[in-house]
Structure 1
Amino acid sequence: MKLTYYDIRGVFGILPTPATSDASEWSTKNSVNLPEVEKLVRLMVDAKVDLIATTGTFGECATLTREELVSLVECVVQTNSRSRPVFAGVTTLNTRDTIALARQLIEVGADGLFVGRPMWLAMDDDAIVRYYEDIARAMPGVPLVVYDNPVAFKGKISPAAYLRLAKIPEVVASKHTGGPQLLADLDAVGDRIRILPLATAWLDAAQAFPDRAIAAWSGSVACAPKFNMALAHAILMKDWTRAKALSDEANWAEAAMFANGDLAAFMDYSIQIGHLRFKSAGLIDPGPPRPPYLFLPDTYRDGAIECGRRWKELENRTAARAA
């Protein structure tokens, strides 16, 4: 059965792509550590993360070869074994490559697509809407989650563009980076696109729109899946006191990786920071980053490691409370 807006509920967990020990070499043919991918997916299933997504920014859509990306998604799908929906991340530099890759990922069993837009040039509203219309026409009935990241894609999707995207039946949700536009976008799309705030910003959105903001995205599921699900449970049950305490803890953990609180600068190094925080959290071995995103200024290193350590602490606390 086709997934709809109403099926997007809870935690949209976006996974990193664990790398082999030689992944930082340009000559490496297959850099995806498939046993670690299997381990990661089993952790998500065991924690009951609601939806799984692959190959966003720190999932390294930009650094994987086509063959690696397809093998990764196939591994995720097979390990997940239809226990929850899988949205395969697909972002390329043009519409035709995106559609060709999307078709491969659906063929290997993905339930839907997590779709960024081409990054070479900025795209205005007309170009953004046409891009998603083309993908929907090429992939009729396949649910699409829009990737709205103003830094990565050189611009924010406007409320007016969201209203036009809401007319595309295949567009069921949007991964949103938050900020002052979050509530305006939630208000604009009504119950036609599920706007997904970052989990650390979920509480405010849920209190403002308790019947609409019933899902959020998380990249920290690879650090603390049980904690993320505890936060989701508190928000969905409208236990605002508990949700506030957990949300404050999540923001405390995430704050460590933003050097001087600078989100834009963090985005320049998010892949490298991700590898360090996932390793420090200790649930998986993320391996080294892939070229060309290999180097990280020292000013970010300690914060990335501390971020992972804090998530590990929160995950251990959650497990202890459940014992």
Structure 2
Amino acid sequence: MGTPRLTTEAVRGVFAIMPTPALDGADDPGMIDTLDRAETERAVNALIDDGVDAIMSTGTFGECATLTWEELRDFAEILVSTAAGRVPVLVGATTLNTRDTITRARALRDLGVDGLLLGRPMWAQCDEENLVAFYRAVAEAVPELGIVVYDNPEAFKGKISTEAYAALAGIPQVVAAKYPVFGPQFAADLAAVDHRVRLLPVDRDWCTAHELAPADVVACWSGSASCGPLAHVELSRRLLGGDLAGARVIADELGAASAGFFPEGSFALFSRYNIQLEKIRINAAGYIKAGPCRPPYAHCPEEYAEGARASARRFAELDAKYRARESETTGVQR
């Protein structure tokens, strides 16, 4: 099927997940075009200038499910044109069926994206055979694109099994997986992909996962990078530079800043309000103006929202801390 634009070897560092910025009033279901184009361009430049290694969007809090196709297409076009080849750009194309996903994937390929952040259809749960067949069909339709499998057990009605990971690793276009909450299955899944697919833990779990396979676990995904990425970038520099102790300090800081973000400590409960909580946190941190949530995902219990705002304050302080350190070291003020 050929070599994709994004290869497994190129999956390295911080894969920052950014929201799809929304204009004021985007929570009104009567608003047709909700995309904040100026903020999208500004945010992409900010993330790249601050050192992230790739940009992903239109997963869950990128609001793939609530964007119109026209909005998603225009957003992807801005991502590609603004990044201008400086970092890989991956865009979500998940729909409720294979044919629509392929149609979107082909259009995104033609816009110049490097890869897809791709979850499986979720109206009904896909068994292993249907799951693997879905990814293979998309890979065959757009062999130019690398695929980052989106393994969200709540959104897609179950975690991808170790056996399915072994089968997915046989598809050359499957270069990585956005891995769920780190747990005991990670080691088995890592063995199953046999160096052919990068499993991306969340930033705060990267050190622990990296220790299992230092040559393979060389990238992480991060939604909190959209609250300000300087700590995340420093984590990457230290970890990939061999300073595990220094990286561990930063990972612990990221974990502390995340405290209280999951309501009652529950990923399942968080997933009911994933879009709202992520956008509340990003807006409160002030690094990106994410704007309001698009309907129907608008309401969020206030006690959960306050947990997100508290996390945002800690992430903003952490970013400011590493921004000041960089300025002292380099003399460059960002």
Q: Scaled by the length of structure 1, what TM-score is found?
A: 0.98
Match of 2:119 in 1: 116
Matches within 5 A, 1:14-163: 14-163=17-166
Q: Aligned pair 1:218/2:218, yes or no?
A: no
Letter paired with 1:315: D
Match of 2:331 in 1: none
CA contact (8 A) 2:64 2:94 kept: yes
In structure 2, distance between residues paired with 1:284 and 1:13: 13
Deviation at 1:172, TM superposition (A): 0.6
Letter paired with 1:320: A
Match of 1:187 in 2: 191
Matches within 5 A, 1:234-245: 234-245=238-249
For the aligned residue pairs, the C-alpha RMSD in angstroms reads: 1.0
Deviation at 1:134, TM superposition (A): 0.6
Matched residue SS, 2:28: coil
Match of 1:4 in 2: 7
Q: Deviations over 1:52-103 (max 9, x none)?
A: 1110101100110000000000011111111111111111000000000111
- Is the deviation greater in 251-260 or in 130-139? 251-260
In structure 2, distance between residues paired with 1:296 and 1:3: 37
Q: Deviations over 1:209-243 (max 9, x none)?
A: 11110011111111021111011111111212111
CA contact (8 A) 1:43 1:225 kept: no
Match of 1:206 among 200, 206, 210: 210
In structure 2, distance between residues paired with 1:57 and 1:3: 22
CA contact (8 A) 1:182 1:197 kept: no
CA contact (8 A) 1:190 1:212 kept: no
CA contact (8 A) 1:159 1:184 kept: yes
Matches within 5 A, 1:246-265: 246-265=250-269
Letter paired with 2:223: G
Deviation at 1:138, TM superposition (A): 0.9
Deviation at 1:168, TM superposition (A): 0.7
Deviation at 1:20, TM superposition (A): 0.5
Q: Aligned pair 1:298/2:323, yes or no?
A: no
In structure 1, distance between residues paired with 2:192 and 2:136: 19
List runs of 5+ in structure 1 lacking aligned partners: none
Matched residue SS, 2:221: strand
Moved over 4 A (4+): none
CA contact (8 A) 1:116 1:148 kept: yes
Q: Aligned pair 1:174/2:177, yes or no?
A: yes
Deviation at 1:109, TM superposition (A): 1.4
Count the aligned residue pairs.
323
List runs of 5+ in structure 2 lacking aligned partners: 328-334
In structure 2, distance between residues paired with 1:180 and 1:269: 26
Letter paired with 2:291: G
Matched residue SS, 1:88: strand
Deviation at 1:119, TM superposition (A): 0.8
In structure 2, distance between residues paired with 1:27 and 1:260: 34
Matched residue SS, 2:283: helix
In structure 2, distance between residues paired with 1:179 and 1:72: 34
In structure 2, distance between residues paired with 1:198 and 1:284: 20
Deviation at 1:2, TM superposition (A): 2.9
Letter paired with 1:300: Y
- Is the deviation greater in 148-157 or in 180-189? 180-189
Matched residue SS, 2:59: coil
